[in-house]
Amino acid sequence: MALYPISVKAPCLTYHLWDGVAPFIHYNDYLVTPPRVYDESLNSLGHFFYDPGTDKLVGFATFSIYHWPGWAVYRYEWDPVTGAFLGRSPASIFAMAWANHAGPGSYGAIYTTWRSCYAISEVKSSTLTHASGMWEINPWTWNPQRIFNFAVVNRENKIIAGVGSWYLETWDISGTPFLKGQLRLPQPLGYLAYEDRKHCWAITKNGLIAKANYQIPRWEMLSSVQDPSPDAVNYLCAFDTKRKRLAVFRQRPDAEDGACQCQLEFYYPLYRVAGLTEPVPVSRLRTGDLVRFVAHLYGDTGEGVASYLLHGELLEPATGQLLTPMSGAELCGGATFRYRAPGPGSDTLKISAVITDGEGA
């Protein structure tokens, strides 16, 4: 699998211009010096996610304010197709001081971990506040106890995928919660994004991008942002579930005149088919019986490639009957072919894949 760069929107946000007039009430004109052009600067983007309810990219950011010593919190919205800035509005400090890292999950809802407690909660996308009656779970009550900084919520299959430090952990919460498996992160995590009931995306603070099947769990791709910046402060990612593509927020230091240099990047995941395993019988081999063969289509990073059509044919001197001449690749790239032999002997089964994007196996 690979990531195909689609577009870049730079800068993706602009700062408020300084009017050159000191406020009526101030601390000290000699100590408080605004930049030459702008009176604010991005401190951190604490939350970045795709909101399926509004079909927008959303971010909650903390800004340093120079005309008045302090900071401010804003909620940003971007167009998920072009990355165009749609607007910002003042937000409560609650979104940054207590809510940790928010993102979408099951049923189109937004979920977050917390700085003030250990729960994972459903929240309002506009304010990141939890209301009575909303879904919530507390990993601190599990055995062993867990504290997650990032989490992906799959309420349909009752799975939680979370990151506390160096591991992406998968927990089954259908009954008494238990740990299904762990995946070691290659670098410190920048953000975790939900794709669907099986997959999530992770981006590190250095720009590495990984896709995981968190139900197994297993890494399915490891890539990188295009042209990583040595001066990048952080990378955050969000997955557009409507268009099936990844959005990356790259935070960079301000320019010399104080202008913002942050940008939005869009990537489309593409499979790179590397090969096809030999068909292996998975049922008993007896004359006249129906035999099932299974082959797997796999990508260049070892992941199973699904959504492709595989064709099967019998090669001479085969005399049996291939009951399923074609099969679609399923979970983990597996495809099943049914064959019936007329009598004792050996036949040769050939499997090939038809790849619609020009690549083949």
| Structural domains of the chain, count | 2
CA–CA separation, 34 and 185 (whole Å): 40
Tell which of 255, 270, 285 closes a domain: 270
Do 79 and 226 fall into the same domain? Answer: yes
Distance CA 142, CA 120 (A): 13
For residue 360, being part of any structural domain is answered with no
CATH code, domain with 347: 2.60.40.10
Domain with 182 in it: what CATH number? 2.130.10
Mean pLDDT computed over 168-188: 94
- Answer yes or no: is 188 within a domain: yes
Burial state string for 300-328 with b = 16 or more CB within 10 A and e = fewer than 16: ebebbbeebebebebeeebebebeeeebe
Which residue among 223, 245, 270 closes a domain? Answer: 270
Does residue 181 contact residue 192 with C-beta atoms inside 8 Å? no
The answer on 334 and 292 residing in a single domain is yes
Neighbours of 38 (CB within 10 A): 20
> Which of 270, 302, 325 is the last residue before a domain boundary?
270
Give the pLDDT band (50/70/90) at residue 27.
very low
Contact call for residues 171 and 178 (beta carbons, < 8 A): yes
- 235 in the same domain as 131: yes
Q: What is the pLDDT of residues 228-243, one digit of tens each?
A: 999 999 999 999 999 9
Which tokens hold the place of 226? 């295009």
Domain carrying residue 347: 273-354
Tally of helices (H runs) and strands (E runs) in the chain: 1, 28
Question: What whole-number distance in Å separates Cα of residue 24 and Cα of residue 14?
Answer: 25
> Which tokens hold the place of 152?
């992906």
Give tens-digit pLDDT for 259-313: 999 999 999 987 667 677 777 777 766 655 667 777 777 776 556 666 567 777 7
Q: Is the peptide bond before 269 cis (omega within 30 degrees of 0)?
A: no
Q: Is residue 183 part of a domain?
A: yes
